[in-house]
Amino acid sequence: MVATFQVHKQTYGRWPAKNGKPGGESFDLDLIDMSLPADHAYRGTLPYRLSPDEKDKYWGKVERKHVQVAVHEIQTTQRGPVLRGVILSVNEK
């Protein structure tokens, strides 16, 4: 499924090593569904975790812009839904 989202904001996360697991960091885009009709769009924000390649390409460059995403899955985590997929394009809207 290909969907259009607006990048609401960027979120940086960092966590320490714990219980034998390594520490790490994340670069997420919080997305707003721009589907039409708006009455049927997802009403919350969906975090999208950038891959290392996407981080170099999009981090700091896409806030408030529209992106087209090939949605592979929406995972449900303890913190809520998370979008998994690939960014196909960025529109300057």
Among 1, 42, 50, CA closest to 25: 50
The predicted structure's pLDDT at residue 78 = 87
What is the domain range of residue 61? Answer: 2-91
Backbone angles phi, psi at 72, to 5 degrees: -90, -35
Q: Which tens digits make up the pLDDT trace of 1-12?
A: 999 999 999 999
Backbone angles phi, psi at 61, to 5 degrees: -125, -5
What residues are paired with 68 via a beta bridge?
A: 4, 89
Q: Which tens digits make up the pLDDT trace of 34-45?
A: 989 999 998 999
Total number of domains in the chain: 1
Least-confidence region, from 24-28, 83-87, 89-93: 89-93
Position 92 pLDDT exceeds 80 = no
Across the range 29-37, mean pLDDT stands at 94
For the chain, the average pLDDT equals: 94
The predicted structure's pLDDT at residue 93 = 61
How many CB atoms are closer than 10 A to CB 42?
16
CATH number at residue 16: 2.40.50
